[in-house]
């Protein structure tokens, strides 16, 4: 099952209790999660993209791996890899996936903007290093 198929199978009101457990202290922007959910349901996954999302469950701890730093169309195309004998419901998995998808923003445009803002210091640091290396190696 892909992330898109999962999101299409669950209703927002059914995943909301799980989402509220994840975003404790930030319930004032629950509307933004609903908007993101609606956007994701209306989007088409990238049919050429191949990837996997691993769901890891250890007691009460749940982790979604490989779903935060990519384009939304690619995230929707990823296949879910669930733990063996999982007790997680589709709604709980969907809540965790949506939370990870919107990590950098509540829309595709906001994700791009926030991703590059958060990674700009790393990028500029690398550019400074390249510049220094070029200065040292140019005769």
Quick: pLDDT tens for 23-42.
887 788 899 999 999 999 99
Which of 6-15, 23-32, 49-58 has the highest mean predicted lDDT (pLDDT)?
A: 6-15
Residue 109 confidence (pLDDT) above 80: no
pTM above 0.75, yes or no: yes
Q: What is the pLDDT, as a whole number, of residue 54?
A: 95
Rounded distance between C-alpha atoms, residue 4 and residue 45, angstroms: 7
Please identify which residue in the block is written with the tokens 């906001």.
110
8 Å CB contact between 83 and 57: yes
Q: How does residue 139 score in pLDDT terms, banded at 50, 70 and 90?
A: low
Q: How does residue 122 score in pLDDT terms, banded at 50, 70 and 90?
A: low
- Walk across the sheet containing 79-81 and list its strands: 61-65, 52-58, 79-81
The DSSP bridge pattern shows strands 52-58 and 61-65 to be antiparallel
Among residues of the chain, what percentage have pLDDT more than 90?
Answer: 55
Determine the Cα angle at 94 with ends 109 and 103, to 5°: 35
Ranking 14-18, 71-75, 119-123 by mean pLDDT, the lowest is 119-123
Rounded distance between C-alpha atoms, residue 26 and residue 11, angstroms: 21
8 Å CB contact between 64 and 96: yes
């Amino acid at each position: 099952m892909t992330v898109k198929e999962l999101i299409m199978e669950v209703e927002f009101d059914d995943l909301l209790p799980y989402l509220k457990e994840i975003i404790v202290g930030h319930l004032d922007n629950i509307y933004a999660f609903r908007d993101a959910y609606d956007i994701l349901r209306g989007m088409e996954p990238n049919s050429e993209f191949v990837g996997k999302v691993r769901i890891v469950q250890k007691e009460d701890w749940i982790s979604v791996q490989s779903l935060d730093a990519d384009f939304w169309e690619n995230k929707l195309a990823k296949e879910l890899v669930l733990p063996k004998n999982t007790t997680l419901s589709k709604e709980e998995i969907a809540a965790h996936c949506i939370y990870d998808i919107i990590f950098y923003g509540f829309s595709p445009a906001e994700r791009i903007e926030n991703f590059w803002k958060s990674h700009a210091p790393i990028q500029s640091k690398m550019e400074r290093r390249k510049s220094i290396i070029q200065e040292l190696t140019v005769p």
